[in-house]
Amino acid sequence: MDKTKVKSFSVWARRNLIKAVAKRALKIGVEKNSILEVEECQHGFKIKGKVEIIDFPVRYRKTLIDNIKKKGFEEIIEEVACTWFFRFIALRYMEVNNYLPEKIIDLSLEKFSSEKQNDMTKSYKYILIKKCNELGKIIPEIFKNKNDYMEILIPDNILDENFIIKRLVEDIEEECLKEENNFIPDYKGLCGVEVIGWMYQYYISEKKDEVFAALKENIKIEKENIPAATQLFTPKWIVKYMVENSLGRLWIDKFKWDSEYIDNEKCTSSKPGKRHTDLLKERWQYYLEESHQETEVEEELNKIRTYKSNISPENIRILDPCMGSGHILVYVFDLLYEIYIDAGYNKIEIPELILKNNIYGLDIDDKVTKLSCFALKMKARYYDKELFKDIQRDGLKLNICSIKESNEISKEVIDYFCSSQVLKKSINSRVKSSKNIVKNSRVGKSQDSLEVGEYSLRKDVEYLIQVFNNAKEYGSILEVRKINFEALESRIEEIKKEDNFIFGDYRKLILDKMPLLIKQGKIMSMKYDVVITNPPYMGLRGINSKLADFLINNFPISKYDLFSVYMEVCLKYSKKYGIVSMINQHSWMFLSSFMEFRNWLLDKSTFINMLHLGTRAFEENVGTIVQNVAYVSRNYSNCSYKTKVINLTKENSSEEKNIKLKEICSNISKREIYELALKQLFIIPSKPFAYWVNENILKVFSSFKPLGELAKPRQGMATSDNKRFLRQWFEVDINKIKFDANNLEEAQNSGKKWFPYNKGGEYRKWYGNNEFVINWENNGEEVKEYAAKLYKSYSRTIKNEKFYFKKGLTYTFISEDIGARYCQNGFIFDVAGSSIFSEKEEQINIILALLCSKISKMFLDIMNPTYNIQVGDIKNIPISKKIFQEEISYKIKNLVNENIIISKNEWDLFETSWDFKWHPFLLIKSGELESDISEDEKKLCNKYISCGFDVWKSFTHKQFEKLKKNEEKLNKMLIEIYGFEEELTPEVKDKDITIRKADKERDIESFISFAVGCMFGRYSTYKKGLIYNGIIDNSIIIPMTEEECFHDDIVFRFINFVKDLYGKETLNENLDFIADSIGRKTFETSKQCIKRYFLRDFYKDHLKIYKKKPIYWLLKSGKNEGFGALIYMHRYNENIIQNVRKNYIHLIIEKYINQMNKLNSISCSKDYPTRDVNGATKSMEKISKKIEECKEYEEFLEYLSGKKISIDLDDGIKVNYEKFQQIKFINSKGIEVKKDLFFKI
């Protein structure tokens, strides 16, 4: 089934249920800020003053209110909605698989008439509650009512056409819920109980989006939101790889030491004489044989296999410490079932044995734990039809825990727990039975033993309470030591039998809390044969301070992300020679911050095999930035062990990776398989797991000097609040910007506020991405004060000041390629635009050549093939002495200089550059851009825009090809110097050339934008560059309306602009070319097309070019588009709004009224045909709406003009723009409305 349908249903279901549950709460007199009084009556209760009786006990409502006071209204509504979501989908799953005696969800509602709907709803609720109560004895995790309010809040619209029950049956196909489909080879799509896990992931997807949106605003992820932030369902094929190569390997290794072991009796295949382990492996599509090992390693492995050979199925323990909805454990169950069958167990016994002995799971999320329990029971039910009856008769305790906290257990509760009469009697009994102790001494000994016993019990319970304090924060990463759990359990049994009124509250708290704490303590203190999980991915920077401090203090080498912490934790959970299998992000393999961790991993464990998955490993597209790896390791270290690594990074989808892996596992394909001892790669600086590197490359790393010895790569600053301290250069007054400071002193003495700031940007080489400025007034006084306030010392985030304003190189921190660029003096640099400096200025161009070459990309892909290019990686790029030899360096410098000039010229030909002079068409017209054209061509370029464009197209093509040729020359030289002829070729793809070729539509649109700039006086056709004088619109307002109401509207002005620039004689040809370039419609005149562009597309393009920070602001009266006009933000003054009202709004309303009168005369006249009358009537309706809209807008303008709103360019466009948006005012009808002055961005 298509996952989009499952997602659509699940997201809709959450919204629908929350709304329906809240509505039901309202019906019983409970709202967020209001609780109505009720009175009890014979069949329930009713709200005072109302007749309707709510047929539930009033205590249910009281329980609801008590919980709302404790947890909050929204949380309780969310809890109830989620509980019923689980119940509905669980019931549906069970009835599709025929696990229920009768259907509950799939009802034929059509047979009931609408007048009986209320009675039917009541009856259905009764049946539903009854069935849930029955199932609560079998599956209490989902169906047991721990809170009475679950029943009272069942929505009233439960049988509506658009309620979840009906939609569940219609939207979710039965086939995808059938468990049997799991066993169809290569079944496509979701199926079985795993669908419920997918539903829950989608159910909370909106909450997950909210958490990450908050994270972008620097709101850290608190423990309540960790589950939503980290839920990520593992693709089934990856789960199978992990389980088959961990649990499967454990069982195969049991027999592998005896190569003669053959079991023909158990051979069900048509291939007699095969070892039964081979038959198992044939069924396991993703099982990978180990690499061929050296003799010494193989001998050691055989000792391990011998050590493990006595293991029996019932003794195998498997843990998933981050189990989620049990997706991995469900397949573990399937594989265990095969193992038990292989060992000769009775099929009927196996499911319960697996649940009791083998499978263990932990999670911090109570909700997914319920789903995990459900999934495992359903999997067991698939194999055992009598399971439900067995559970009802004998009960069933799963080794599954949602981690609980001990926070509510006080010292007084502990005192009560430790006051054990049984303990006293037990000790006294043992003392009295001792014959060789005198009576007096017996008493003393008894007292001593009693004190020791009580002390031991207290010590254990206090430890348990202490270790699980705030346990939801830390989850299964907590290290729990073994204590006397049996004694604690004995005390629990004793308390159950006590009838203590004095300590009744303590007794209840203990019986509620302690069994769960003991259970999770036992699970977390055990060691496991197999530990397997997909851990949460959450970086240290996004984690709340409490959890972050815990990681820093307890996991110093793996602290950088929760997934790497779990790599360490899983090894600790593992037995000696145990197997660990995980999928996580691949950054731990490469980032320099994980270097010590990689050392630790190889000292503690051996990687058996790895799948380097790269991007798009998950069916749900989590983006192209997230890259993954899955691996299987053994808890034992041998540096000579050869790991098998499968490279699946080149496949572009999860399914492609799946197919490729299956081909490798079945020996159809041998491509992208690497077998090596990972320790040999540690010759590379930062010791990455760059498994694909050959001996030639390793030799370069060992013999060449690192770049860091010749230059100074430096990390830039983090402002800690970019919205406050950064602006795009066009937002602020250009007179306040100092573009060319040479050092800190010169910058301070300039008295300027804003300075150029390198912030990375898109992938671009040689030159460009000069877009931002930073507030560095008075030597960065404000940004330093802010940093010192946050971190006590500003130097934590404001680094390498002595390099500010120096000439150097910069690059983009997050990018597929380094994209290094020359940076002239005058810049400060950001952490995302870190920079490189050299004391020898002549070396700058040579280093730039290396960084823009294929050589550096190859080195960086080895050291860190993530999208985060670290300063340490740049430092470690090997650099050959040969490139500084005079003859070679001369050639390199010349090519690099050409490349910088080409790239700078291209960057400056677009108006978002602060060095923009003129539009290219004007430069061509003046003969300054392309000198290699004839006089006749120059004359044509003076008359025709089309000729100018043709010259521009030719020019950009030549520049593009020149740059490409230069880059290939540099590549060839460097490849020869480094001796990488077999590894690399010099050719460069067009997509890797980072200057732009001509694009007719884009370039004509940029010409139109330039024209508007000239209208406002930002640019001039007489003077190059950014100006504030010349021929300017005196009113600084340019109307943009559908009706031709103004002689100075934007279309009129633009046509005059083209006429003045290219002449009256060729005006029509030029307008035709412009119209055709921007998408003229059939039968549309050029003027109509240009007008449509201005009204529909110009402002969208402007927002795109200026990244939603427009310098031209569009006044807009409303959705009926009665009035529109542009103003120039840099020319705004407090009188503009009043001028718009007086000079334009009044006039347009008057014109609309005149049009209405003319149209009215047509519609009322008998002299016009019906078509004209109908057309006039339709136009009148349209204009009437415009008049009404413009009148309200006029009132709004009058209100705003009285407020005299001022703007401060230093605050940036967003802040200033919002001053005029969503303003409350009372219109002429006396209604308070919210209005926007400008187009809503």
Under the banding of pLDDT at 50, 70 and 90, the label for residue 1027 is: confident
Name the DSSP letter for residue 526: S
- Residue 727 to residues 281, 510, 858, 986, 1009, Cα–Cα distance (Å): 61, 58, 35, 39, 22
Greatest CA separation for the chain: 133
721's tokens: 């609040």
Per residue in 55-94, pLDDT (tens digit) is: 888 999 999 999 999 999 999 999 999 999 999 999 999 9
pLDDT at 257: 55
**Torsion sign, CA atoms 251, 255, 259, 265:** negative
pLDDT at 259: 46
- Domain assignment present for 776: no
pLDDT at 438: 38
pLDDT at 1025: 85
pLDDT at 1035: 58
CB atoms < 10 A from the CB of 447, how many?
A: 13
Please check whether residue 974 is in contact with residue 855, taking contact to mean a CB–CB distance below 8 angstroms. yes
CA angle 566, 569, 570 (to 5 degrees): 85
Under the banding of pLDDT at 50, 70 and 90, the label for residue 935 is: confident
CB atoms < 10 A from the CB of 939, how many?
A: 11
Q: Judge if 548 and 653 occupy the same domain.
A: yes
> Between helices 1170-1203 and 1146-1164, what is the axis angle to 10°?
160
Look-up: residue for tokens 């008493």?
A: 443
- Stretch 675-691: mean pLDDT: 92
- Stretch 271-288: mean pLDDT: 75
Q: Judge if 455 and 577 occupy the same domain.
A: no
pLDDT at 281: 84
**Contact partners, residue 1129, CB within 8 Å, separation at least 6:** 1110, 1111, 1112, 1113, 1207, 1209, 1213, 1216
Give me the CATH number covering residue 648. Answer: 3.40.50
Amino acid identity, position 819: G
Nearest to 628 by CA among 238, 286, 237, 215: 238
pLDDT at 763: 93
**Torsion sign, CA atoms 250, 254, 255, 259:** positive
Strand pairing report for 574-585 and 643-647: unpaired
Tell me what percent of the residues of the chain surpass a pLDDT of 70. 92
pTM of the model: 0.82
Per residue in 823-877, pLDDT (tens digit) is: 999 999 999 889 999 988 889 999 999 999 999 999 999 988 877 888 989 999 9
- Mean pLDDT lowest among 246-260, 379-393, 394-408: 246-260
Please check whether residue 1216 is in contact with residue 1093, taking contact to mean a CB–CB distance below 8 angstroms. no
Q: Judge if 514 and 548 occupy the same domain.
A: no
pLDDT at 1175 over 60: yes
Per residue in 310-350, pLDDT (tens digit) is: 889 999 999 999 999 999 999 999 999 999 999 999 999 99
pLDDT at 1028 over 60: no
Residue-by-residue DSSP string for 812-858: -SBSSS---EEE-TT-EEBGGG-EEE-SSGGGHHHHHHHHTSHHHHH
CB atoms < 10 A from the CB of 680, how many?
A: 15
Please check whether residue 202 is in contact with residue 11, taking contact to mean a CB–CB distance below 8 angstroms. yes
Strand pairing report for 712-714 and 821-823: unpaired
- Domain assignment present for 872: no
Q: Judge if 14 and 108 occupy the same domain.
A: yes
Per residue in 912-927, pLDDT (tens digit) is: 999 999 999 999 998 8
What does the alpha-carbon distance between residue 652 and residue 613 come to, in Å, rounded to a whole number? 10
pLDDT at 667: 85
CB atoms < 10 A from the CB of 56, how many?
A: 18
CA angle 1117, 1121, 1126 (to 5 degrees): 65
Nearest to 963 by CA among 952, 951, 971: 971
Look-up: residue for tokens 């600084």?
A: 1036
The length of the chain is: 1241
Q: Judge if 536 and 460 occupy the same domain.
A: no
Name the DSSP letter for residue 728: E
- Domain assignment present for 773: no
pLDDT at 116: 56
pLDDT at 668: 81
Per residue in 975-998, pLDDT (tens digit) is: 999 999 999 999 999 999 999 999
pLDDT at 269 over 60: no
Strand pairing report for 1112-1116 and 1124-1128: antiparallel
Q: Judge if 575 and 460 occupy the same domain.
A: no
User: SS3 for 659-701, per residue?
Assistant: HHHHHHHCCCCCCCEEEECHHHHHHCCCCCCCCCCCHHHHHHH
Nearest to 1040 by CA among 1091, 1079, 1097, 1104: 1091
CA angle 1190, 1192, 1195 (to 5 degrees): 110
Under the banding of pLDDT at 50, 70 and 90, the label for residue 442 is: very low
- Stretch 1071-1080: mean pLDDT: 97
167's tokens: 């939609």
Look-up: residue for tokens 């003495």?
A: 749
Beta bridge partners of residue 1020, listed in sequence order: none
What does the alpha-carbon distance between residue 887 and residue 157 come to, in Å, rounded to a whole number? 84
- Domain assignment present for 780: no
- Mean pLDDT lowest among 109-118, 574-583, 792-801, 1124-1133: 109-118
Per residue in 208-227, pLDDT (tens digit) is: 777 777 767 677 777 777 77
Among the three residues 490, 508, 525, which one is the final residue of a domain in this structure? 525
- Stretch 393-414: mean pLDDT: 93
Q: What is the number of structural domains in the chain?
A: 4
What does the alpha-carbon distance between residue 812 and residue 989 come to, in Å, rounded to a whole number? 20
- Mean pLDDT lowest among 234-243, 647-656, 1019-1028, 1047-1056: 1019-1028
What does the alpha-carbon distance between residue 421 and residue 414 come to, in Å, rounded to a whole number? 15
pLDDT at 184 over 60: yes
Q: Judge if 600 and 484 occupy the same domain.
A: no
H-run or E-run covering 1203: helix 1170-1203
- Structural domain including 459 reads 411-525
What does the alpha-carbon distance between residue 1072 and residue 1064 come to, in Å, rounded to a whole number? 14
Q: Judge if 510 and 536 occupy the same domain.
A: no
Which has more pLDDT, 279 or 1207? 1207
- Residue 919 to residues 254, 447, 461, 907, Cα–Cα distance (Å): 76, 98, 78, 12
Give first-to-last CA distance, the chain, whole Å: 38
Under the banding of pLDDT at 50, 70 and 90, the label for residue 622 is: low
- Domain assignment present for 1062: yes
- Mean pLDDT lowest among 524-538, 635-649, 1029-1043: 1029-1043
665's tokens: 């596992």
- Stretch 42-63: mean pLDDT: 89
Under the banding of pLDDT at 50, 70 and 90, the label for residue 118 is: low
Q: Judge if 573 and 521 occupy the same domain.
A: no
- Domain assignment present for 576: yes
What's the gap between Cα 56 and its chain centre? 44
pLDDT at 972 over 90: yes
What does the alpha-carbon distance between residue 51 and residue 39 come to, in Å, rounded to a whole number? 11
- Domain assignment present for 550: yes
H-run or E-run covering 644: strand 643-647
Please check whether residue 578 is in contact with residue 531, taking contact to mean a CB–CB distance below 8 angstroms. yes
- Domain assignment present for 19: yes
pLDDT at 809 over 90: yes
Beta bridge partners of residue 614, listed in sequence order: 628
- Residue 835 to residues 448, 713, 852, 866, 877, Cα–Cα distance (Å): 71, 6, 14, 19, 15
Q: Judge if 156 and 289 occupy the same domain.
A: no
Please check whether residue 920 is in contact with residue 952, taking contact to mean a CB–CB distance below 8 angstroms. yes
Name the DSSP letter for residue 357: I
- Stretch 1063-1074: mean pLDDT: 97
Q: Judge if 186 and 278 occupy the same domain.
A: no
pLDDT at 1030 over 50: no
pLDDT at 276 over 70: no
pLDDT at 248: 95
pLDDT at 1: 63
Q: To the nearest whole number, what is the mean pLDDT of the chain?
A: 89
Tell me what percent of the residues of the chain surpass a pLDDT of 90. 69
CA angle 1053, 1056, 1060 (to 5 degrees): 140
Residue-by-residue DSSP string for 188-211: -S--TTHHHHHHHHHHTHHHHHHH
Among the three residues 649, 672, 692, which one is the final residue of a domain in this structure? 692
Among the three residues 637, 666, 692, which one is the final residue of a domain in this structure? 692
What does the alpha-carbon distance between residue 456 and residue 201 come to, in Å, rounded to a whole number? 44
Under the banding of pLDDT at 50, 70 and 90, the label for residue 422 is: low
934's tokens: 């004839």
Q: Judge if 1139 and 1086 occupy the same domain.
A: yes
426's tokens: 């037990």
CA angle 1052, 1057, 1061 (to 5 degrees): 150
147's tokens: 């809170």
Per residue in 883-915, pLDDT (tens digit) is: 999 999 999 999 999 999 999 999 999 999 999
Per residue in 745-763, pLDDT (tens digit) is: 999 999 999 999 999 999 9
CB atoms < 10 A from the CB of 976, how many?
A: 13
Under the banding of pLDDT at 50, 70 and 90, the label for residue 446 is: very low
793's tokens: 């010392």
User: CB burial class (10 A; 0-12, 13-18, 19+) of residue 90?
Assistant: buried
- Residue 436 to residues 14, 430, 445, Cα–Cα distance (Å): 73, 13, 12
Please check whether residue 1023 is in contact with residue 1037, taking contact to mean a CB–CB distance below 8 angstroms. no
Please check whether residue 956 is in contact with residue 892, taking contact to mean a CB–CB distance below 8 angstroms. no
Per residue in 120-167, pLDDT (tens digit) is: 788 888 888 899 999 999 999 999 987 778 999 999 888 887 888 888
pLDDT at 1186 over 50: yes
